[in-house]
Amino acid sequence: DVKENGGGNYKMYEPGIATRTLERILLENELRKSVKLGYFTLEYQPKMNLSRRNLSGVEALVRWNHPDLGRIPPDKFIPLAEETKIILPLGEWILREACRQAAEWKRQGCSPVRIAVNMSTVQLEDPEIIETIKRILFEEKVEPELIEIELTETSFADRDEMRETIQWIRDFGMHVAIDDFGTGYSTFSYIKELPADAVKIDMSFVKDIDVNENSRAIIKAIVALADTAGLNVIAEGIETEEQAKILHSLGCREGQGYYFSKPVPPADCEFLFSERAKNE
């Protein structure tokens, strides 16, 4: 109410909020439309074995290609998609597309690698999620073993029902990885109790690994705990050979990062499959 807020003051700070809200509403609207119209694609980033230096898997990362707004990065729209639950139909499309690609690569005779798919806590909380996963894998004719689900720590910490869903995912045959590990609020030692197959060390620890002894100590601790728990360890955000070498010397077996490859369209990583086949 203009009068109650004293006229002039109202105008001084309200427009900012109004603009932001409007932007949000517009973006939400565009997001909804884009899911219907299919303005999304997936790119794939290789995961490499750090000693053999060959492909060990790929991670699917969603891209929003808006005809007028251009390319909008996931960090700009995934949080909004989560808040508005648009992540449910979008996430369904992402899993289906990754499965379709897995089946396509298999048809082409590429030596099969596991495809990792990121899944939001919001998706995990969806009461339909198990039925959705079963239906997609059945319809796309993909074995669950070929898919890895990447979840963040919040998915594990929050509620018992979510843990049960994670356990179901593993019993079904899919792999589970904990993404951005080390950035959550919990202590590392709890990884022993997590129903997972792998942990992905967050790139913030990798970034300064060559100069920061602290980061190296943290990675060493994560590797030691993961080893006792029988979890595979993948380091994210490797940008230099030096980082790859140090990580390998700390016992980290797998890595991912711009040094090996940025996320690329599916056709651009197909040569890696043949490289992999040659090394086997």
- Judged by CB under 6 A, the chain residues 161 through 200 that form the site for ligand C2E are 179-180
- Judged by CB under 5 A, the chain residues 170 through 209 that form the site for Mg ion are 179-180
Query: Cβ distance 146 to 156 under 8 Å?
Result: no
CB of 133 to ligand C2E, least distance (A): 14
List residues bridging with 118 in a β-sheet.
150
**CA separation for the pair 32, 93 (Å, rounded):** 13
Contact flag: residue 241 with ligand C2E (CB under 6 A): no
Radius of gyration of the chain (CA): 21
Nearer to Mg ion, 140 or 179 (CB): 179
- Judged by CB under 6 A, the chain residues 17 through 46 that form the site for ligand C2E are 45
Residues listed for the chain: 280
Select from 1-9, 116-124, 186-194, 222-230 the region that touches ligand C2E (CB under 6 A): 116-124
The encoded tokens of residue 151 equal 């979840």
Contact flag: residue 120 with ligand C2E (CB under 6 A): yes
- Taking every pair of Cα atoms in the chain, the longest distance, rounded to a whole number of angstroms, is 76
Nearer to ligand C2E, 78 or 102 (CB): 78
Nearer to ligand C2E, 10 or 259 (CB): 259
Nearer to Mg ion, 23 or 215 (CB): 215
Phi, psi angles (nearest 5°) of residue 50: -75, -15
Strands (E), the chain: 40-49, 55-66, 70-72, 114-118, 147-152, 175-181, 198-201, 232-235, 254-255
List residues bridging with 114 in a β-sheet.
57
Q: Site for ligand C2E (CB under 6 A): which residue of 1, 75, 160, 213?
A: 75
**What does the binding site for ligand C2E look like in residue numbers (CB under 6 A)?**
45, 61-62, 73-75, 78, 91, 94, 118-120, 150, 179-180, 203, 236-239, 256-258, 263
**What does the binding site for Mg ion look like in residue numbers (CB under 5 A)?**
118, 150, 179-180, 236
